[in-house]
Chains A and B, each alone.
Chain A
Amino acid sequence: MNTIAQLLLPALILPALFSFSLLGLGRRHPAVHKVLILAWLPSYLWINGVPEFLSRDATHWLWLVALLAAAAAFLQRRAPRSAAQTALLLAGLLTVVWPLAHLLTAGFALGLGATLLIGASLHYFADHRSSLPVTTTAVSLAGLGLVSAFGGSLLVGQLAIALAVLLSGFSLVEIFRLPLRDRFPLELLGPLFTLYLVLLLIGQVYADLPLGPVALLLIAPAAGVVPRWRYGVLVSAALAVAALAWSLAGGSAAS
């Protein structure tokens, strides 16, 4: 297959198709929106290949993180206020942390602490209605994708961009204030943040993404979930662009 097609199909075309298909289906059956994270799995399998059983490689566990995140989105309706969801998301995070554990350094431990703290904040604020939370998340994911693709790992980059594109349909609904029934279920934000943090963690630990841009990307989605703050998305976009510029200033990767 043509190299450009190989890069674009799983990261852009396929998730865009899923995004708009789910958006359309969701008009009749709103619960369909909740499987959005599962729609990331075909792209993941295409980009990463079939994951190995009990692999020591964290990227081979991302399917499980996605499944846990998707399950968390469904659980919240029935379970008491997000306790079960939090447990599932924490399990998702730990799923990826254990293969990285042998690389544990003081810096890594600090980073993980910060990640958990910010992740918990995001998870908390995600329940509040902010102005453009989906667009903010998509912008942050796109930023992570570009920083990874140009600065460390095309694989992590493609995975993040695929997730960003998956949100594109819902982002348009959000930006153009289309009817509420098309809106993105906010209980999906916590699970999406978990996937975002996990990809960020893998990108930093395995692909040595520079710490400065990683720090900016870590706080980028936080700006967008501050309740009733209209300019959060612009701050997130500025942080993502700054992270990319910072990363590119250090040179870009190529194979």
Chain B
Amino acid sequence: MQTRIKTAIAGLTLIAALGAAPLYADPAAAGTYKIDPQHTSVHFQVNHLGFSEVVGRFNDLSGKIHLQPNGKSSVDVEIQTASVDTNYDKRDDHLRSPDFFNAKLYPVIRFTSEKVSFNKNGEPEKLTGELTLHGKTRPVTLSIQPVGAGDDPWGGYRVGYKATGVIKRSDYGMNFMQGGIGDDIAIDLNIEAIKI
């Protein structure tokens, strides 16, 4: 009896998973996508005094992706600097100050790219673009890993990617407390976008 119940639960779980899963096998359809901010996150990680890595995120972002596999694709993302969140209000205030992001003077962080390279399956694998942060624009390359693409339960079409990269804050003139606060910033993005 117990074995049957377990088998039934496993079967239902598998059916549910298959039903909810997007079409992983297919590359994303060409078109323009709007980033879904509720299912997108931008995390960063920086060394603190050599003891640990502090993880933060930005909570307010928007943007568009234009996908044209093996054609001209582009990405344009805007992040509101003041939405920085490291799970500690006072530290967030300090990060917004002129010591770091100077959020009042530079309220927006922007990433634009018109150079997306695709693998042989037609999936994006590398994104080369320009990141404007703290008033400075520098080239940045992000590695892309497709997560899923397909119809969503609400009749739309979605794509999802993970993107990772590393920047140096000193390249952007954020030099305060070098040595204490790490120069290398690891960036980790989870992006979900809806076709428009």
Contact = CB atoms under 8 A, between A and B. Distances in A.
A156 interface: yes
A1 B181 CA distance: 11
B177 A252 contact: no
Main secondary structure, interface of A, reads: loop
A155 B99 contact: yes
Contacts of B93: 152, 208, 253
A206 B135 contact: no
A80 interface: no
B94 A152 contact: yes
A153 interface: yes
Interface residues of B, number: 26
B30 interface: no
Contact of A49 (B49, B175, B180): B175
B97 interface: yes
Interface of A: 1-3, 6, 49, 52, 55-57, 59, 99, 103, 152-156, 202, 205-208, 251-255
A38 to B, nearest CB: 22
A3 B176 CA distance: 11
B177 A57 contact: no
B91 A253 contact: yes
A57 B105 contact: yes
6 contacts: A152-B93, A153-B94, A253-B93, A255-B91, A255-B94, A255-B181
A253 B98 contact: no
B104 A56 contact: no
Given A57-B105, A206-B105, A255-B100, A154 B179 contact: no
B176 A253 contact: no
A52 B94 CA distance: 22
Nearest to B100: A255
